[in-house]
Amino acid sequence: MASRPRSSKGFSLVEMMISIVLGLIVVAGLISVLMANRAAYTIQQGSNFNQESLRFAATRLAWSLRMADFWGGVKGTALTTTTNTTGVGGAGSCNGAWVLNVGIAAPGNGIAGYDGGATFPIANCVDDANYVKYSDVVVVRYADTHGYDPAKASSTTKFDSTTPGDVPNQTSVFVVSAVNQSATMFRLGEAVPSNPLGSTSGRYVYPYQLEMYYLQPCSDPGADKVCGTADDGDADARSPTLMRMRMDTTGALISEAVVDGIEQLQFEYASPLPTDPPSSTPFVQASLANFPTVTQVRASIVARSTTRDVSVPHAGSFALSGHCAYSISTAGALSYDTTTATNLCASAPASNYGDKPQQYARTINTQVVILRNRVRG
């Protein structure tokens, strides 16, 4: 019998090869889209981190600067300081006399700035290894807004408490102030001074505060408390950190991290010109500022991502102030603005920006803070 022809089924080899090639093209396209999305996500994540770091750092700095020279309703020229500096202060020039250097003897020291340099600008105060070279330093002194009734003697349990959270921001130095009259400092455990004499109203006791802001090249210096040693992690993973030095409940100075990822910090200061009407005045670096008359502070911050991004190079120019401006190329080369009169950042070591600076996303923020306690007279 003659057999009937069969119909062919399945793919031929050529058809299969064509299908595979088309499938690979589609998969390659999807992978390309996913990689692009991942790169965009990484960039956005770094930008979000920088924005959050900048917001927190700027808010903290602005609050402290606005508190400068608050003495409970009196001017610094009416504040009498205490001579009891036992246990107050820290190492080097940051001793008790420096901590309490305000009031009648130094009425302009509610705020004091220091230009950055190769070493920490206040001698032997902070280990040079724990300082980002050529970043600025600012110090503010003020009376905290948490006031007490002076009828509560300094020997009472509540007033003398050192329990964390019991008395916010308590230190061992206090200020008793009478609004529009005068103010006097005293130490924890001492009787509250009866100053001004005869005043029976408008008197409050405030904790005395000193805060110093500076940059540290690592977020965790390890057990030896020194950045750059073997116990503080991989050098590539170190993150420059905004630090705050303040007094603890005993009067000793302690440093604590505010926010990491802050690469550069610069301050400029302005005083009103004696003209009618008042004219604008340029902002100047700390060494040129007249601090007793300063009413405005311009703070510039560069935030840097804490993780590397090798997907795309992060180039950019960062002009923080009239004395600090730098640029990073796509290849990681550092350059400095030659038109700046005094570009102190040009002397900073390249290690400030990481060994491959183009692999970090950066964001810059500049804000002007009005020293309200001086503007209000």
Q: 228-251, pLDDT tens digit by residue?
A: 775 555 554 478 999 999 988 888
Report whether 75 contacts 178 (CB < 8 A): no
Distance CA 372, CA 75 (A): 12
Distance CA 192, CA 147 (A): 13
Measured in Å, how far apart are the chain's first and last C-alpha atoms? 120
- The Cα diameter of the chain in Å comes to 135
The predicted pLDDT at position 270 comes to 93
262, amino acid identity: I
The predicted pLDDT at position 148 comes to 74
Average pLDDT over residues 245-267: 91
Distance CA 261, CA 233 (A): 16
Distance CA 177, CA 74 (A): 7
Single out the residue of 337, 296, 298, 295 nearest to residue 316, CA to CA.
337
In terms of pLDDT, which residue wins out, 312 or 41?
312
Distance CA 111, CA 374 (A): 11
3-state secondary structure 39-104: HHHHHHHHHHHHHHHHHHHHHHHHHHHHHCCCCCCCCHHHEECCCCCCCCECCCCCEHHHHCCCCC
Distance CA 64, CA 99 (A): 16
Q: How far is CA 322 from CA 117, 168, 282, 350, in A?
A: 16, 38, 10, 20
**Which of 16-20, 174-178, 265-269, 322-326 has the largest mean confidence?**
265-269
The predicted pLDDT at position 162 comes to 44
* pLDDT band at 275; cut points 50, 70, 90: low
Instruction: Calculate what percentage of the chain has a pLDDT beyond 70.
Output: 81
Q: 90-135, pLDDT tens digit by residue?
A: 999 999 999 999 999 898 899 999 999 999 999 999 999 999 999 9
Average pLDDT over residues 269-297: 81
* pLDDT band at 41; cut points 50, 70, 90: low
- Full-prediction pTM beyond 0.85? no
